[in-house]
Chains A and B, each alone.
Chain A
């Protein structure tokens, strides 16, 4: 089983619908992140959380909200989806170690019609 699990992996929805992307991890990391990937733009940070009570906005948080339900769970919500939120979304975790690379989930591909 994957250490960082995202659900759903693929979702097609309509403009105005509320969507939740869920992320759970078994790595025991405190730090969790949501990134968005658009073709040609790399990955952009939406929100990040360094522990259950700490949530911070990234560069592109408008139109998104998050919930850190537990150390292992970090959900991303689109309250009213719009077509330009069509993208590949990644959840990631990291430790506080000296290297501290991000461990990514497999991605959630969201299409908003």
Chain B
């Protein structure tokens, strides 16, 4: 089974500082995708960023970047210049891209248990 590990149940960061949320994954596939989602206290799931396993450059989306280290099987999320509104639960997820998962380009996502980020003034 695929496995996503987020080792930090909670993280704290001061406003305007950068923070890194850890994510490691376990897969024997060569082709896969990695995602980060944000879940504020209101409960909705918000897509933040995507990294394909064959992408050579780390993905970036505004203040979010994904530090992808394929050999270490890690996909850490970096949030620069934290804001109070960044306080939320953050989930790392992985999607296999193999025929065995009944999806030639898209299968289901496997989620980690999440990291609760708190940004303080």
Contact = CB atoms under 8 A, between A and B. Distances in A.
Contacts of A88: 43
A45 B108 contact: yes
A96 B45 CA distance: 20
Contacts of A99: 33, 50, 52
A94 B37 CA distance: 14
Contact of B108 (A33, A96, A109): A33
A90 B109 CA distance: 13
Interface string B36-50: 000000011101001
Interface string A76-113: 00000000000010101011111111111011010000
Interface residues of B, number: 25
A43 interface: yes
B95 A100 contact: yes
Contacts of B47: 101-103
B96 to A, nearest CB: 11
Contacts of B95: 100
Interface of A: 31, 33, 35, 40-45, 48, 50, 56, 58, 88, 90, 92, 94-104, 106-107, 109
Interface of B: 4, 9, 33, 35, 43-45, 47, 50, 52, 91, 93, 95, 102-106, 108-114
Given A40-B114, A44-B111, A100-B106, 17 more contacts: A31-B106, A43-B109, A45-B108, A50-B103, A56-B102, A88-B43, A90-B45, A92-B45, A94-B106, A96-B103, A96-B104, A97-B105, A100-B33, A101-B47, A101-B50, A103-B47, A107-B44
